Amino acid sequence: MKVCIVSDSHDHIPLLDAAVADAKKLGAEAVLHAGDVVAPSTLHCLRKHELPVHVIHGNNTGDLWALGRLASKPDSIFHYHGMDAGIELAEKRIFIVHYPHYAHAMASTGDWDLVICGHSHVVSIEEKKTCSGGKAWLINPGTTGGVGKSKATWILADLETMDFEVHEIDKAIEHQQQESA
């Protein structure tokens, strides 16, 4: 199973939409968002992709009540987990949290195969040793919203092989859509 890993979209709708569209073309079957969506309405662009979206909030929370309502609608593709999430996909135990220091701690426990974080806007892919003698992957997809001078990035993860590919979105997509509006 392949998944699209995003974080820190910060209301940059065209960039988030482009990342998920690209991921779906590459075979992604779910989206994992590690926080800082900001306005829950940002997620509406993902409905057309018809992929389940697991999302947590970060430090730029926006309207958490609206995010909860969005996820609670019948047949919603959105799964809002609060400040962190422990989920299982393709027989892999996955923990999603916004903050890297929290993610480093969770990766070291040995309870998770994959730990995902955001916040720093810096892409990183690390295999960490756990205190139980095993290994866990610690992934930060950077900022899908291309915040500041950062590149707009996301990661395609293959949960069977635990291979991770960093992808960049051309930030001009956002400006082109603004100019045509």
Instruction: Map residue 159 onto helix, strand or coil.
Output: coil
Q: Which of 146, 181, 103, 173 is nearest to 10 (CA)?
A: 146
Q: Which helix (DSSP H) or strand (DSSP E) does residue 125 occupy?
A: strand 123-129
Helices (H), 52-165: 64-72, 100-108
- Looking at residue 105, what is its pLDDT? 97
Q: How confident is the model at residue 176 (pLDDT cuts 50, 70, 90)?
A: confident
Give the Cα separation of 118 and 128 in Å (integer).
Answer: 17
Distances (CA, A) of 145 to 80, 93, 107, 171: 19, 27, 25, 8
Helices (H), 32-141: 64-72, 100-108
Per-residue confidence (pLDDT) for residue 98, from 0 to 100: 98
Tell whether the model's pLDDT for residue 96 goes beyond 60: yes
In angstroms, the CA 23 to CA 46 distance is 12
pLDDT value, residue 179: 63
pLDDT digits (tens, 9 = 90+) for 10-67: 999 999 999 999 999 999 999 999 999 999 999 999 999 999 999 999 999 889 999 9
Handedness of CA 25, 115, 93, 8 (dihedral sign): negative
- The structural domains of the chain, ordered by start, are 2-180 (3.60.21.10)
Q: How does pLDDT run across 97-152, given as a tens digit for each residue?
A: 999 999 999 999 999 999 999 999 999 999 999 999 999 999 999 999 999 999 99
pLDDT of residue 83: 96
pLDDT of residue 174: 86
pLDDT band at 180; cut points 50, 70, 90: low
What's the CA gap between 123 and 65, in Å, rounded? 30
Tell how many helices (H) and how many strands (E) occur in the chain.
Answer: 4, 11
Tokens of 140: 């930060």
CA–CA gap between residue 29 and residue 20 (Å, rounded): 10
